[in-house]
Amino acid sequence: MELVFFILLIVGIVAILLFTVSLRVKIVFDTCKTNLNMTLLWLHSFIKALVTIEDSSPMVTLFLLNKKIFKRRLFKERLKSSKGKLNGMELIKVVDSSDVHVNAQYGFRDPFNTGIACGAISAASQFINIDVINQQPDFTTENDYIYLDAKANVNIGSTLINLIRFKG
């Protein structure tokens, strides 16, 4: 009986933490270094996940108290779009994010394309919950490049409820 009470107590504490402690997300995308990293931190590095691209496929590394637990491919086969799966805009609507900060530096050899990108990012930011967006378009570059650095806090509990509602 004491074991059942202890397990229920632990589950209750974790459930409360899911709704009160935000997941910190940081994404860095750099085309010059062909780099894409996503770092997820919960409970001040108690749980840390690092998503990187290796051999053209996403790899996730999970840490508990800064000790590596496992590392594996995120998807074993190619993702196929099918009913019930989230696309990009639906995923943005499901995720309960706050304190979103985006820094974008980009440039294309054709200044027209840079202008179109600048306008598209400004327009898209009106439909997405972004607190601060800092754009630095480069209209005079000789090489195409994109550097994106984004940070946000995500309420895990609310996001899970939204995901269940979406799937249901």
**DSSP states of 104-133 as a string?**
EEEE-SSHHHHHHHHHHHHHHHTTTT-SEE
* Predicted TM-score (pTM) of this structure: 0.78
Confirm if 36 and 28 have CB atoms less than 8 A apart.
yes
- Per-residue pLDDT, 81: 47
Residue 83 has pLDDT above 60, yes or no: no
Indicate the pLDDT class of residue 148, thresholds 50, 70 and 90: very high
- 132: how many CB neighbours lie within 10 A of its CB? 11
Q: Does residue 7 form part of some domain?
A: no
- Residue 90 and residue 160 in one domain: yes
- Residue 90 and residue 168 in one domain: yes
- Residue 167 and residue 107 in one domain: yes
- Per-residue pLDDT, 106: 94
Percent of the chain having pLDDT more than 70?
Answer: 90
User: Domain count of the chain?
Assistant: 2
Q: Does residue 6 form part of some domain?
A: no
Residue 142 has pLDDT above 80, yes or no: yes
N-term to C-term CA, the chain = 35
Average pLDDT, integer, range 52-72: 87
Instruction: Say whether 23 sits in a helix, a strand or coil.
Output: strand
Residue 116 has pLDDT above 90, yes or no: yes
- Per-residue pLDDT, 77: 53
Among 74, 102, 132, identify where a domain stops: 74
